[in-house]
Chain A
Amino acid sequence: MKINEYKEEIYKCSGCGLCQSVCPVYKILQTECAVSRGKFKLLNSIINQDIKFSKRTLEIMDLCLHCGACSEFCPSDIDAQKIIETAQADMLELGIFDFRKLFFAQVFGNKFYLTVIKFFVILVRNLKILEILSIFKFKRIELLKSFLKINIKPLKKFANVKKEIKVVYFAGCFNNYLNPSCSNAVFKVFDKTNVEIITSSFNCCGLPLKSAGDMETFVKIARTNIDSLPQVFDYLIFDCQSCKNTFLEYSKYLEGDYKIKALELKNKCKSIYEILDIINYEPRKKWKNSVVTCHYPCHTRFTEDKKIMRKIINKISNITFVEAKNADACCGAAGSFLCTHPVLSRKISKNKAKDIIASNAQIVLTSCPSCYLGLKQGLLEQNSNIKVLQLIEFLVL
């Protein structure tokens, strides 16, 4: 079992229990199952062979958004995410897994399925199925409708003009297959700059597989993604924080030549906002007067992206920026968590929405399509009409 490698790390937990103060799942459930302290105690007993991995262990390990709040906070510096993931991977090997999560992961890990979904979405859009269904006033349908933004067509590719900075664009699955408005914004913003966008055919970044514990497929996908990169380019850019973080972690999971390549790639992986910062992007001057707040995706937690997002927003004149309380707390979507724990996810999103509403903002900006879902879900629950936008979409509004 791989979890044995973390024996000392897990034992380091002093049991101070302060992780209860930052865990969004604990705020809803109020049980030890939610927080990392409880999980560590359980894993410690498994390592000591007091008990074996079980279905219940999986349920407990799955009660985690992988938001990293406890790891960031932990006074003993324990990387809870890595440990929980390892436990999940161990269990998958033993045949203990959540079917829904694995299914979700397999769909995302396979281009064919994604393409099928893409055409299905186009069909749904054109037949206006969601609009017809929305007479039933289900919040879930409202959520889907807002996410799939009816009537947005993918932009025609801009002419390939040679420019100074060459970037490869990795469009996240959500943006690539389900909702092209974010990708469109990327092309629009960079069109007027000295950045040349090169597209390539990538797979999913592999995060859904990684968090489902299917490391074998994850490694396979990581390799093909590295193979899909062109020979010459300056940066690999991402419109989704989660994808970027996953790429940054490739080197930890790969071996041999691929590991070297992944390590080299690390310096080249940038979010679109980092690139905007590098080229000193100036947003256009005139803006509709509005109050704006920002939700920082969990994957910006250990990076500079948070600061950079703020920097870009501050450059926009004519808007008022307000910082909401707990602006970096998880939105509750957390990828497949939204599907595997719908009730819990909705409650977490609702808490998040409360803080956003209290900030009196009219628009909430973010930089991750999954967060879009979480934020929208919470705001719908609270019957609020605050707009949710990706920062890049806001820049071309």
Chain B
Amino acid sequence: MFFIKRILIIFFIFLVIIIGDLVTYDYVEKEDKIKEISSKMTSISPSFSFASKEYKKFVYDK
């Protein structure tokens, strides 16, 4: 039982870190920034490359 309790304590610490990160993240600010820039674009396309031909076609043709 001591072993299980020790594992539960470790997982609890992980959970606190994750919940803390989720709660403190400013989703509203990020959404506003994305909306602000996307409203200026006519046709949005993700600004990253991708290691598949299909995806490159998607990025550059759309």
Q: Do A and B come from one complex?
A: no
Binding site for A on B (CB under 8 A): none
